[in-house]
Amino acid sequence: MTEIIAADHLTIRFGTFTAVSDVSFAVSKGELFGFLGPNGSGKTTIIKALCGLLKPTEGTGRILGMDIRKDAAEIRRHVGYMSQKFGLYEDLTVAENIAFYAGVYGLDSGRAAERTREVQALTGIEPYMTRRAGQLSGGWKQRLALACAIIHSPEVVFLDEPTAGIDPVARRALWDLLFQLSGQGVTFFVTTHYMDEAERCGRVGYIYLSKLIAMGTVAELQKLPDANPAGTSRIQIQVENPSEMLDGIRHMQGVREATIFGHSIHALAETAHVAEMRRKMPQASIETIEPSLEDVFVTLTYRIMESQR
Amino acid sequence: MRALFRGLVPVCRKEFLHIIRDPGTLFFALLIPMLQLFLFGFAVDTNIRQIPTVVLDESHTQESRRLLEAFAGSDVFWLKTYAQSQDEMYEAVRAGKARVGIRIPYDYARRLLDGTTASVLVLVDGSDSSVAGQAMSTATGVALKESLGRVLPGGAMPVEVRPSVLYNPATRSANFFVPGLIAILLQVMAILMIALSLVRERERGTLEQLTMTPVAPLGLMLGKMIPYGALTFAELCAILLVMRTVFLVPVHGNVVLLLVLSIPFLLTVLGIGLVISTKARTQAEAFQLSMGTILPSVFLSGYIFLIENMPPFFQAISHLIPATYYIQILRGIILRGAGITELWVSATVLTVMGCGSTLLAARLFVRRGAS
C-alpha cells in the first residue's frame, strides 16, 4: 500500500482561531477518500495546507512522499485541484480554458494536444469545445473544471465540494468519472457535505469543529461504539403519520434521538425501553436497523456538543 | 530562471483573450482617456485674460476715461459693469459678479492737474490667488505707465523689458499642460485596468485555482503586465498623435526616445496597480484605491504646481511619485528637445521604481494568497 496523502498531527491556527486541530490521516494510491463536515469545519484549510499554500502551525504532511512544508512548488505540479467555484474563465471557450491550464502546468504542445484528446474522451465535452464556458450548464461546467484539473495527469486530485449546487444526474455522472479515474490509479480527496456522496467513498473522515472525530469505511463507522452507545438500539418506527408522532416519540422515556426518515421515524432508544414503546404504540411496527452514515455523524456530533456543555 | 517566471506565456495569452472578448470595456478603456485629454486639454488655460471688473467712476472726466481705457486695453480686465456707489461696487465683488473693482475718486483729474498724487482704488477678490496676482501686477503696470506718460510727455520710456521666451514662445498653456496630462491619463488607465483584472479573478475564484497550479507569482504578475502595458502603450501613441494634430503641440525632441522612456513608467504604474490588487478585496475597493493615486500625482508631481515652490516636506514627497519623473521626461522631450543625457536620471529612477513595485506586488501576493 503506497501512501499518497499523509497528514501528521496537522494543526493550523489563524491568530487565536484554530482552523485545524491535530488532524492525522493517510490515503493510499487509487483510494477515493471522502472528507465530510459542515461549512467552516476546516476542510478547505486542510486541502490548502496539503497543497503547500498554507504553512501548518504544527505538524506536517506529505504528498507523494514530498514534504508540504518544503516542496510546495513541486507538489503543485503533481496535484490537481477543483473547487466548487470551478475556477473557469467564463468569457473563454472550453478549448481555451483547457489550453490555458495545459499551458499553466507547462505541457508542451504535443503533450497538450494528446491530453486534450484524452480529457475530451473522458468527459465527453468535445461537442462544446468552441462554446464559452459561461454558457455551459452547471453539470458541463463541472466536467470542464475536472478536465482542467486533470489536464496534467496528476497522481492526486483534491476536489473541494465539487458537486455543490449541481443536479443529481450531473452529480452521478461526476462520481462515475471519479471512479473511472480512481480505477486507473488516481487518488482522490473529496470534501462534501452530502451524506450520499460520502457513502460512495471508500473511506470517510468526519471533521467537526476543526477536529477529525471519526474515520474509516462506511461499515466501520456504522459499528463505531460512539455511534452505538452501549444499551441502545437504533430503531425504525413505521407509523401512518410520522410528522405528528415525532414530538411525542422524542419525549418518550429512553429515546435519545429521533428524526423523520421518509415515511418512518428513525430513533436511538435505550434497549430496555423498546418493549415499552411497542406497548405504547401498538399500531406502529418497530424494528431494529443499522445506523445510516447520517445517523452515525449526528450521534457523534451530539456527543461532542454534550461534552462541551 | 524559467521557474521564476513560470506561467507567464499562458497567462499573457489568456489576458489578451479577456481583452478582445470584452470589446465594450476595451472601447471605454481607450476612449475615456482620450475624452479627458480633450476635456482637460481645452479647459486648462492658466493665461489669465478678461477678468470681470466693476467700475465706479466718480470723476467722470477725460482723464478718468483715459485711465479706464488703459485698463481695458491691457486685455487682462474686462470692464463689465459700472457701479453708482461704493456699496454697489463691493456688492458686485462679494456676489462674484466681478473679480476686481476699480474706483476712480471725484478729485482724480484735479489732483493730476495739481501735480499731487491721485489715488485709484483697485479692489481685488483674493479667493483665486492667480487671478488676484495677475490683476494686481497688471494694475500696477497700468498705473506706472500712466504716471510715466505724464512725467515724460511724448518721450520714450527710459527702460523697456523685451522678454524672449525659450521653448514655448507663445506661452501657450496647452504646450505646458498636455504633456503632463499624458502622465496622469496613462497612470489612471494602467492602474485601474490591471488592478481590476486581478481583483476580478479573486472575486470569481479563478485566482484560488491559479494559486493551486505551478504558476510563479512573477509569471502571473508579468503575464498581466504585458497585455495591459501594450494597451496603455497604444493609448500613449494615440494621445501623442492627438496632441500633435489637435492641440498643435510641437514635439522638439525624439519621439522614439519618448516612447522608449515611457516603458519604465508603465512598468511602475502597472506594478502599483498590482500592489493595489493585493490589498483590495472587491473591485469597488480596487477602484477607490486606484482613484486615490490620482490627486497626489496631479498636485505633487509638478503637473500643476512648481515643485521648487513647495515646502521641503512636499518636495520630498514629490520625489517619491513616479509621475514626477515621467512628467520631466515628457516635458523635456516634447517642449525642450531634451535627449537621454538630460533625462537618464529620471529614466533610471523610474526603472528602479518599476522593478521595485513589481517585486513588491509579487511578494505581497505570495503573502496574501487567493483569499
Asked if pLDDT for residue A93 goes beyond 80, the answer is yes
Asked if pLDDT for residue A227 goes beyond 70, the answer is yes
> Is the minimum CB–CB distance between A111 and chain B shorter than 8 Å?
no
Mean pLDDT over A188-204 rounds to 88
- In the prediction, which pLDDT does B371 show? 56
- In the prediction, which pLDDT does B62 show? 87
Report the side by side order of strands in the sheet with A232-238. A255-261, A264-270, A232-238, A285-288
Task: Give the up-direction half-sphere exposure of residue B351: CA atoms within 13 A in the CB hemisphere.
Answer: 8
Check B209 against A87: CB less than 8 A apart. Answer: yes
**Chain B residue whose CA is closest to A75:** B214
> Is the minimum CB–CB distance between A246 and chain B shorter than 8 Å?
no
Q: How many CB pairs under 8 A join A and B?
A: 68
Asked if pLDDT for residue A233 goes beyond 80, the answer is yes
- In the prediction, which pLDDT does B370 show? 57
Closest of A116, A46, A117, A111 to residue A81, by C-alpha: A46
Asked if pLDDT for residue B326 goes beyond 90, the answer is yes
Contacts of A79 in chain B (CB under 8 A): 212
Q: Confidence band (pLDDT; 50, 70, 90) for A191?
A: very high
Check B14 against A92: CB less than 8 A apart. Answer: yes
Check A96 against B17: CB less than 8 A apart. Answer: yes
User: Which grid coordinates are listed for A101?
Assistant: 491550464
Residue A65 CB coordination number (10 Å): 10
**Chain A residue whose CA is closest to B8:** A104
Contacts of B19 in chain A (CB under 8 A): none
> Is the minimum CB–CB distance between A66 and chain B shorter than 8 Å?
no
Check B213 against A76: CB less than 8 A apart. Answer: yes
Query: What's the CA gap between B148 and B152, in Å, rounded?
Result: 6
- In the prediction, which pLDDT does B50 show? 84
Asked if pLDDT for residue B366 goes beyond 60, the answer is yes
Check B205 against A86: CB less than 8 A apart. Answer: yes
- In the prediction, which pLDDT does A158 show? 95
Contacts of A73 in chain B (CB under 8 A): 3, 214
With contact defined as beta carbons under 8 Å apart, do A165 and A159 qualify? no
CA distance A135 to chain B (A): 14
Asked if pLDDT for residue B132 goes beyond 90, the answer is no
Please report, for residues A69, A149, A162, A170, A291, the alpha-carbon distance to residue A141 in angstroms, rounded to integers and kept in the order given.
33, 12, 11, 10, 35
The H or E element that residue B57 is part of is strand B51-57
Residue-averaged pLDDT of chain A: 90
Residue A129 CB coordination number (10 Å): 15
Contacts of B68 (CB under 8 A, 6+ apart): B55, B57, B79, B102, B104
Phi-psi region of A33 (alpha: psi -120 to 50; beta: other; left: phi over 0): beta
Check B7 against A96: CB less than 8 A apart. Answer: no
Asked if pLDDT for residue A272 goes beyond 70, the answer is yes
> Is the minimum CB–CB distance between A105 and chain B shorter than 8 Å?
yes
Contacts of A106 in chain B (CB under 8 A): 6, 214
Most confident option among A229-233, A282-286, B263-267, B292-296: B263-267
Q: Confidence band (pLDDT; 50, 70, 90) for B278?
A: very high
Bigger pLDDT: B161 vs B137: B137
Where does residue A251 rank: exposed (0-12), middle (13-18), buried (19+ CB within 10 A)? Answer: exposed
Indicate the residue of B6, B208, B214 with minimum beta-carbon distance to A83: B208
Asked if pLDDT for residue B137 goes beyond 90, the answer is no
| Residue of B213, B367, B371 for testing the chain A interface, max A β-carbons within 10 Å | B213
DSSP per-residue codes, B233-285? HHHHHHHHHHHHHTS-----S-HHHHHHHHHHHHHHHHHHHHHHHHH-SSHHH
Indicate the residue of A73, A85, A91 with minimum beta-carbon distance to B22: A91
> Is the minimum CB–CB distance between A51 and chain B shorter than 8 Å?
yes
Interval B176-218: pLDDT, tens? 888 999 999 999 999 999 999 999 999 998 998 999 999 999 9
Mean pLDDT over A81-96 rounds to 92
Indicate the residue of B14, B211, B213 with minimum beta-carbon distance to A89: B14
Check A73 against B3: CB less than 8 A apart. Answer: yes
- In the prediction, which pLDDT does B354 show? 96
Contacts of A262 (CB under 8 A, 6+ apart): none
Mean pLDDT over A124-132 rounds to 94
- In the prediction, which pLDDT does A7 show? 92
CA distance A100 to chain B (A): 6
Contacts of A101 in chain B (CB under 8 A): 213
Q: What angle do CA B131, B134, B138 make, to 5 degrees?
A: 140
Mean pLDDT over A112-121 rounds to 95
Indicate the residue of B17, B205, B213 with minimum beta-carbon distance to A83: B205
Q: Confidence band (pLDDT; 50, 70, 90) for B1?
A: low
Query: What's the CA gap between A107 and A109, in Å, rounded?
Result: 6
With contact defined as beta carbons under 8 Å apart, do A132 and A93 qualify? yes
CA distance A248 to chain B (A): 47
User: Which grid coordinates are listed for B201?
Assistant: 479573478
Check A87 against B205: CB less than 8 A apart. Answer: yes
Interval A139-183: pLDDT, tens? 899 999 999 999 999 999 999 988 877 888 888 889 999 999 999
Residue ranges of E strands in chain A? 3-14, 17-28, 32-36, 58-63, 66-67, 79-83, 156-160, 187-192, 203-208, 211-216, 232-238, 255-261, 264-270, 285-288
Indicate the residue of A89, A96, A105 with minimum beta-carbon distance to B214: A105
Mean pLDDT over B123-140 rounds to 85
User: Which grid coordinates are listed for B242?
Assistant: 492627438
* pTM attached to this predicted model: 0.82
- In the prediction, which pLDDT does A282 show? 85
- In the prediction, which pLDDT does B154 show? 67
Q: Confidence band (pLDDT; 50, 70, 90) for B20?
A: very high
Asked if pLDDT for residue A59 goes beyond 80, the answer is yes
Residue-averaged pLDDT of chain B: 89
ipTM of the prediction: 0.84
Indicate the residue of A53, A88, A92 with minimum beta-carbon distance to B211: A53
Q: Confidence band (pLDDT; 50, 70, 90) for A261?
A: confident
Q: Confidence band (pLDDT; 50, 70, 90) for B241?
A: very high
**How much of chain A, in percent, has pLDDT values that exceed 70?**
100
Contacts of B218 in chain A (CB under 8 A): none
- In the prediction, which pLDDT does A90 show? 94
- Residues A207-236 as b/e (b if ≥16 CB within 10 A, e otherwise) read bbbbbbbbbeebeebbebeebbeeebbbbb
DSSP per-residue codes, B298-328? HHSSSSSS-GGGS-HHHHHHHTT-HHHHHHH
Asked if pLDDT for residue A216 goes beyond 80, the answer is yes
| Residue of A104, A108, A152, A153 for testing the chain B interface, max B β-carbons within 10 Å | A104
CA distance B368 to chain A (A): 10
Check A105 against B13: CB less than 8 A apart. Answer: no
Residue B176 CB coordination number (10 Å): 19
| Residue of B202, B208, B212 for testing the chain A interface, max A β-carbons within 10 Å | B212
Q: Confidence band (pLDDT; 50, 70, 90) for B255?
A: very high
Q: What are phi and psi of B124, to 5 degrees?
A: -120, 130
